[in-house]
Amino acid sequence: MTARPGPGGGAAGPLAPPVTTDSGIPVAPVYTAQDVAGGPEALAARLGQPGEPPFTRGPYETMYRGQLWTMRQFAGYGSPEETNARFHFLLGRGQTALSVAFDLPTQLGYDSEHEMARAEVGRVGVAIDTADDMVDLFAGLPLDKVSVNFTINATAPVILATYLVAAERQGVRPDQLTGTLQNDILKEFLARKAYVFPPGPSMRLAADVVEFATGTLPRFNPISITGYHAREAGCDAVTELGLTMASAIAYCEELTGRGLAFDSFAPRLSFHFATTLDLFEEVAKLRAARRLWHRIATERFAAATPAAARLRFFSGNSGTTLTAQQPLNNVIRSTVQCLGAVLGGAQSIHVMGYDEAFEIPSEEAVTLSLRTQQIIALETGVTRTADPLAGSFFVEHLTDEMEARATDVLLRIEDSGGAIHAIEQGLPQRWITESAYQAELAVAEGRRPKVGVNIYADGGDEPAPDLALFQLDPGIADRQIARSRQRVSARDGAACADALSRLRGHADGGQNVMPALIECARAGATVGEMSGVFRQAFGEFREPSPW
């Protein structure tokens, strides 16, 4: 590594900004045309035009001139009523779509009254026990008009069923619904860890959802294939991209293996990436992602239509880049990350709250996150032209480099038997853990500067700013449990038991579980009961030792 002056202007110090990207790609002091492989014509072929294959420059012809990205702050806590109030609050401040955070019991298929659930009800998201809760969650929010993202995975089919029942009660048809169900179980095993069932049945449930949605929910994305959580758990941008593509291949193989035509479902596949602080590397990653997916879709799955090879993505800003120290600095970090997502051509964006090292964001913090998006969209002019960094010697070089290195990661996964097998063996999990440790050591040893943490730390004697942090109403769990018990006692118990028994039959018999699940949700079955059917049919997964 070349010696460079430290941030304080002194001689080469331990806190000099590194001359490699976060992924370890060396960066030269200056780039010229010679650094862009193959010359102008080869580059033009690698780029295409915005909205045209291979989509390097963006999925749509006019990009943000035609339509801004969707501003979608991830939100949810307490009971459905409280989260509904937060949704109205956000939409009232100019947010353009919703993104639901579910509490851990809901994510893991436990009712609020379950012994494992009590301490966690409503904490990291909203508690949903029945379809009635879903009705309350969207009170006053017309589901034929509001696009909704659901961060739900192991219990994604169950939650989709309750959502469809809520829409039905609003008089909204399935073909009118827009939004995204995360439904990416592989990354739960990989990084996020909210899995329930073993990998085999989990893949089957994820594919049941996509199969059901294909045709029935033509405007809805039934899966969002996600590298974000692997990144947040510790891997670098290159590995994030490679793992995302490996997962995408696994889902597509599962679906085509059922006899579905690739072009029937691929246009509704959605992706989800992290956007962190290494601005140019992130932009390069997002551009490379579109090109790489186009190559995989056409070469491997013989995509016949452009839409089946066109990658669209949601960008989540990175929580792990934020710090508890000097928390207002996080506003700046989030702004840069949001800008990176925009320059990378995101279809929807979430910006982290500056207070999330302590709590879920306060109203003030989430408003500032939304305002960050609005200011970038409306005041900076970065939306005026598509893919504004195209043709930059550096960015094109880095885009090529990201694509090549991510392809290497993908090949390593393929060599080990594909995403599912590699995850079962714990291979990518070990990469992520080791990389997380190295990243932490780099900060602890001062090799990676972190303002307010290992440099400009104010001597540690500054009092922490007095943030007005979010505080959960402690009565939430008791009220949610009481209401769910009341709803369970009011339902037709025999009809509900019949519906659950049909669901078990379909789970065992290999039919698509969605129609039976919707019947259960209509009959008032709880999330715990529906998930319990799958627990009995499929068993539960236990993670092997990480070492």
Residue 111 interacts with another protein (CB under 8 A)?
no
Residue 118 interacts with another protein (CB under 8 A)?
yes
DSSP label at residue 99: E
Q: Which stretch binds another protein (CB under 8 A): 22-30, 243-251, 292-300, 538-546?
A: 538-546
Contact code string over 419-458 relative to another protein, x by CB under 8 A:
--------------x--xx--xx-xx--------x-----
| Sheet of 70-71, strands arranged across | 70-71, 348-350, 313-317, 269-275, 223-226
Residues 20-79 that bind another protein (CB under 8 A): none
| Interface with another protein (CB under 8 A), residue from 35, 51, 93, 123 | 123
Residue 546 interacts with another protein (CB under 8 A)?
yes
Q: Helix, strand, coil % (nearest 5) of the chain?
A: 50, 10, 40
- Minimum gap (Å) between residue 359 Cβ and another protein: 5
- Are residues 309 and 303 in contact, defined by beta-carbon separation less than 8 angstroms? yes
- 261-264 long-range contacts, CB within 8 A, separation 24+: 262/297, 262/301, 262/302, 262/303, 262/304, 262/308, 263/303, 263/304, 263/305, 263/308, 264/214, 264/215
Half-sphere exposure of 21 (CA within 13 A, CB side): 26
Q: Are strands 348-350 and 269-275 parallel, antiparallel or unpaired?
A: unpaired
Q: Which stretch binds another protein (CB under 8 A): 164-172, 226-234, 304-312, 507-515?
A: 226-234
Residue type, 227: G
What sign for the dihedral angle of Cα 78, 82, 83, 84?
Answer: positive
Which residue's CB is nearer to another protein, number 99 or number 107? 107
Which residue's CB is nearer to another protein, number 45 or number 119? 119
- Minimum gap (Å) between residue 540 Cβ and another protein: 10
- Minimum gap (Å) between residue 338 Cβ and another protein: 22
- Are residues 156 and 137 in contact, defined by beta-carbon separation less than 8 angstroms? no
| Interface with another protein (CB under 8 A), residue from 116, 302, 332, 382 | 116
Q: Which stretch binds another protein (CB under 8 A): 25-33, 42-50, 116-124, 166-174?
A: 116-124
Which residue's CB is nearer to another protein, number 27 or number 124? 124
Contact code string over 340-379 relative to another protein, x by CB under 8 A:
-----------------xxxx-------------------
Q: What's the gap between Cα 162 and its chain centre?
A: 21
Query: Token digits for 385?
Result: 């032209």
Q: Which stretch binds another protein (CB under 8 A): 127-135, 217-225, 229-237, 515-523?
A: 229-237
- Minimum gap (Å) between residue 547 Cβ and another protein: 8
Using CB under 8 A, count the residues that bind another protein.
43
Residue 328 interacts with another protein (CB under 8 A)?
no
Residue 461 interacts with another protein (CB under 8 A)?
no
- Minimum gap (Å) between residue 450 Cβ and another protein: 10
Query: Token digits for 193?
Result: 């860890």
Q: Buried b / exposed e across 223-257, counting CB within 10 Å, b at 16+?
A: bbbbbbbbbbbbbbbbbbbbbbbbbbbbbbbbbbe
Half-sphere exposure of 459 (CA within 13 A, CB side): 2
Q: What is the DSSP string of 105-139?
A: HHHTT--TTSTTTGGGTTSSSB---SHHHHHHHTT
Residue 101 interacts with another protein (CB under 8 A)?
no
- Three-class SS state of 350: strand
Instruction: Give the chain's largest Cα–Cα span.
Output: 78
| Interface with another protein (CB under 8 A), residue from 76, 105, 157, 532 | 105
Contact code string over 172-211 relative to another protein, x by CB under 8 A:
----------------x---xxx-----------------
Which residue's CB is nearer to another protein, number 134 or number 476? 476
Residue 278 interacts with another protein (CB under 8 A)?
no
Which residue's CB is nearer to another protein, number 178 or number 323? 323
Q: Which stretch binds another protein (CB under 8 A): 273-281, 464-472, 492-500, 509-517?
A: 464-472
Tokens 């880049």 correspond to 321
Half-sphere exposure of 47 (CA within 13 A, CB side): 25
Q: By the criterion CB under 8 A, which residues form the site for another protein?
A: 104-105, 107-108, 110, 116-120, 123-124, 188, 192-194, 232-234, 320, 323-325, 357-360, 433, 436-437, 440-441, 443-444, 453, 464, 469, 472, 542-543, 545-547
